[in-house]
Amino acid sequence: MKIVIIGGGAGGLELATYLGHKLGGKGLAEIVLIDQNQTHLWKPLLHEVAAGSLDAEVDALSYRAHATAHGFIFKLGKFSSVDRANRCVELAPVVDEEGFEVLPQRRESYDQLVIAIGSGCNDFNTPGVAQYAQFLEGPKQAEKFHKQLINHFIQLNRKLIDEPTKTLNIAIVGGGATGVELSAELFNAQQLFSLYGLKRVTNEHLRVTLLEAGPRLVPALAEHVSEAVRSELAKLGADIRLNTKVARAEKNAFITGDGEVVSADMMLWAAGVKVPDFIADIEGLETNRINQILVKPTLQTTTDDNIYAIGDCAGYDLGDGRWVPPRAQSAHQMASLAGKNIVRGLKGKPLKDFKYSDHGSLVSLSRYTAIGVLMGNLGKGQSFNVRGWLARMVYISLYRMHQVALHGWIRASLLVIADKINHIVKPRLKLH
Ligand SMILES: Cc1cc2nc3c(=O)[nH]c(=O)nc-3n(C[C@H](O)[C@H](O)[C@H](O)COP(=O)(O)OP(=O)(O)OC[C@H]3O[C@@H](n4cnc5c(N)ncnc54)[C@H](O)[C@@H]3O)c2cc1C
């Protein structure tokens, strides 16, 4: 039996680790994880990498090393399609940044397949966006953004000698968690750059404009949370434009529906969620309007019991007009059930149905604060608001739980200690 998992993100890597322990390490099945990158970085940390609060080189996990220690095989590859009739996935050639072909186009056979490739932003085909704006969809993009940010700060620090009113303008489209969290991280980065020698650049020289088409920030959260987030960001100095739809992008500017030009040295598009278009073209898989693969309660796809889909790329209809939201907690819960169902299927036992539990949502505004709503046992089934230190601790614990799922409690605890040591011995911001 060969089980192939495509995508080693929040859901896929937890699943590969689980199946590696349950089946792969015991010789009961061959578990293969395929990812387009060599390392894993938990996606909710991307805005921290972009701002420099987190060093991806330190925090990233090598798939190969992790696979060796956890009973599965890692293969580098960019998934492009599925040949369902022959039970094979198609992998596009892997080419490095210099154009060197690391691996050719190839096929990988499977008995059971799990698609866990996550999602990206949705630019809604807004003209100019793909050409002029950046996206925060993976570690490489986050690192590229970070490098540009440093260079802009260095350049600004020099220019301020002759032009004291000059500003660094960063425009972010999308007032969801990514846009909001990155905005706060940028103000933190400015303060730290100033501490580390770029002294001329003050808060007044950083202009972060957050453009949101809807009437409030973080629309997936309760209204009072949106308002609290807006107020905290405004205090930091962000220029928040609600009900502002971007009609097109040009070099160094977003143009709004009203024709206003929002000039920017750096432009980031962080709006919308969409699974890559090629998924909708895979013959025989049903998808919804954002290309999520429709799954049954067992998390098997609606058209093929040998293919599961989990995480952001899975479309699970909750039956009340809502879909399971594309969040790390959903990916974690789906990985957990898909793992159990695959093992149950091998033992000939009936599969279980997925039940999504919403444990709440939190928005982290860098080291300043975190705001959100928690649900579940602590609140006796009710939701309750959290803010400040407690909210920040719960937010951080989400990542710690992901580390526990990957490494177990002992190693995850050692990683916490290593992080604390790094916090003491390394600069508080990645400066290069
Ligand atoms: C900046 C940011 C902040 C966020 N903050 C939060 C938060 O606070 N709380 C929360 O719950 N959620 C948050 N999210 C959402 C959360 O990150 C996702 O819901 C979660 O990571 C989805 O997990 P996944 O396993 O489905 O996909 P991912 O974690 O995105 O992993 C997908 C994996 O598939 C690989 N892959 C993609 N395409 C291919 C291909 N063609 N071939 C091979 N491999 C491929 C990728 O390299 C990646 O490793 C945030 C997202 C972002 C971008």
Residue 351 within any structural domain of the chain = no
Residue 354 lies in a domain: no
**419 within domain boundaries:** yes
Q: Is the pLDDT of residue 22 over 50?
A: yes
Task: Name which residue sits closest to atom 7 of ligand 1, judged by CA.
Answer: 44
pLDDT of residue 345: 97
Work out the average pLDDT over 249-270: 97
User: Residue 381 — very low, low, confident or very high, per pLDDT cuts 50/70/90?
Assistant: low
Reported as half-sphere exposure (CB side, CA atoms, 13 A), residue 205 has a value of 24
Report the C-alpha gap between 285 and 349 in whole angstroms: 25
Q: What are phi and psi of 285, to 5 degrees?
A: -100, 135
**Any residues with CB less than 8 A from the CB of 41 and at least 6 apart, and which?**
49, 56, 59, 60, 61, 139
Residue found by looking up tokens 């602590």 in the block: 378
Residues 202 and 314 in one domain: no
Task: State which residues form the domain around 162.
Answer: 129-269
8 Å CB contact between 211 and 172:
yes
Residue 220 lies in a domain: yes
Choosing from 235, 253, 269, the residue where a domain stops is 269
Tell the residue number behind the tokens 């009710």, with chain if given: 382
* Average pLDDT in the chain: 94
For residue 138, the domain's CATH number is: 3.50.50.60
- In tens, the pLDDT along 383-393 reads 788 888 888 88
User: Across the strands, what pairs with 187?
Assistant: none
Q: Whose CA is nearest to atom 4 of ligand 1?
A: 44
Q: pTM of the entire structure?
A: 0.94
Residue 141 Cα to ligand 1 middle (Å): 13
Residues 10 and 116 in one domain: yes
Q: Which of 33, 102, 327 should be mutated for ligand 1, with most atoms under 8 A from CB?
A: 327
Q: For 153-192, write each residue's pLDDT tens digit.
A: 999 999 999 999 999 999 999 999 999 999 999 999 999 9
Are 155 and 199 within one domain?
yes
For residue 395, the ligand 1 atom closest to its alpha carbon is: 8
Query: What is the mean predicted confidence (pLDDT) over 93-121?
Result: 96
Residues 190 and 245 occupy one common structural domain? yes
Which residue's C-alpha comes closest to atom 20 of ligand 1?
A: 328
Verify that 260 and 277 share a domain, yes or no: no
Residue 128, pLDDT above cutoff 90: yes
pLDDT in tens, 23-63: 999 999 999 999 999 999 999 999 999 999 998 888 899 99
Atom of ligand 1 nearest to the CA of 91: 42
List the one residue out of 58, 361, 407, 50 whose CA is nearest residue 222: 361
Is residue 253 domain-shared with residue 288, that is, in the same domain?
no
Of 15, 17, 43, the one to substitute when testing ligand 1's pocket (max ligand atoms within 8 A of C-beta) is 43
How close is the Cα of 194 to the center of ligand 1, in Å? Answer: 32
Residues 408 and 284 occupy one common structural domain: no
Task: Render 54-91 in DSSP notation, one character per residue.
Answer: S-HHHH-EEHHHHHHHHT-EEEE-EEEEEETTTTEEEE
Residue 335's nearest CA partner among 88, 9, 46, 34 is: 9
Number of domains in the chain: 3
Query: Among 51-55, 74-78, 103-107, 248-252, which stretch is predicted with the lowest mean pLDDT?
Result: 51-55
* Residue 140 is assigned to a structural domain of this protein: yes
User: Which single residue is written with the structure tokens 């039940």?
Assistant: 355
Count CA atoms closer than 13 A to 185's CA, side-chain side.
27
Q: Is residue 298 assigned to a domain?
A: yes
Residue at which a domain ends, from 346, 370, 392: 346
The DSSP string of 242-258 is -S--EEEEETTEEEETT
Continuous H helices in 196-327? 223-236
pLDDT digit string, tens, across residues 289-326: 999 999 999 999 999 999 999 999 999 999 888 999 99
Question: Model confidence at 379, in pLDDT bands (50, 70, 90)?
Answer: very low
Q: Tell me: the pLDDT tens digits for 396-419?
A: 998 999 999 999 999 999 999 999
Q: Closest residue (by CA) to atom 15 of ligand 1?
A: 327
Q: Residues near ligand 1 with C-beta < 6 Å?
A: 6-12, 34-37, 43-44, 46-47, 78-79, 116-118, 136, 138, 177-178, 311-313, 326-329, 331
- Percent of the chain exceeding pLDDT 90 equals 84
Give the whole-angstrom CA distance, residue 149 versus residue 49: 11
E-strand spans in 93-152? 94-95, 101-103, 106-109, 112-115, 134-135
Give the pLDDT confidence score for residue 173 in this predicted structure.
98
Q: How far is the CA of 43 from the centre of ligand 1 (A)?
A: 5
Residues 171 and 235 in one domain: yes
DSSP string, 169-212: EEEEE--SHHHHHHHHHHHHHHHHHHHTT-TT--GGGEEEEEE-
- Same domain for 144 and 203, yes or no, is yes
Asked if 287 and 258 sit in the same domain, the reply is no
Tens digits of residue pLDDT in 219-239 = 988 899 999 999 999 999 999
Rounded-to-integer distance, Cα 14 and Cα 19, Å: 9
- Looking at 320, 346, 372, which one is the last position of a domain? 346
**Based on the domain organization, do 146 and 166 belong to the same domain?**
yes
CA of residue 174 relative to chain centroid, distance: 15
- Confidence band (pLDDT; 50, 70, 90) for 145? very high
